[in-house]
Amino acid sequence: MGTTANFQVLRSAVIAASDADTWKKALLEWDVTSVEEHPTSDGVCVCGQIGLLWMYTITNEVNGAELYPIGSSCVEHFGRTDLNRRVDVLHKLAFVQAAANAGKTVEMTTEFFSRAALKFLLEEGAFTPDSYNHGDGANDYEFLLKMFGKRDKTTITSKQRYKIRKLVSDKIIPFILADPRVV
């Protein structure tokens, strides 16, 4: 872990906003709760690092305190796989949002999705129950996960491609565009 001046500033900010009084304990109080893309990469992290493109908000789950903006490098200093995964998921969702806002096609590729992002969408309620998924949104998730995991994409039938496009356009994109965690 870092011992740079920036790390010390980050450490002080996190401890000051935590109930815990040590770095090791304070680390456990925080979650990554949102992402914002800075249009000109001029964001400045709470540690003082300049030139951030992706700025994250971290929220203390014990006392509700927020620190913003935090760069992904600083999130890595927490040494928590779950936080790094959340950064990756929010980053993917931000790519989906940007493409949708630009009128571009969002496809079931690693550019826009990951297994973790699909699981996040399931857990957060993006796959609403309907007659097509037999009243269980988990069926949509399982279908997309299976399609995402296919090594040979040429084996995906036209009917499956249609279903993928409909799930992305009718469920995933509207969910992400309405999600305040992706700004």
CA-to-CA distance for 152 and 157, rounded, in angstroms? 11
pLDDT at 179: 93
- Dihedrals φ, ψ of 37, to 5°? -90, 125
Ordered per-residue pLDDT tens for the chain, 183 residues: 444 568 999 999 999 999 999 999 999 999 999 999 888 888 899 999 999 999 999 999 999 999 999 998 999 999 999 999 999 999 999 999 999 999 999 999 999 999 999 999 999 999 999 999 999 999 999 999 999 999 999 999 999 999 999 999 999 999 999 999 888
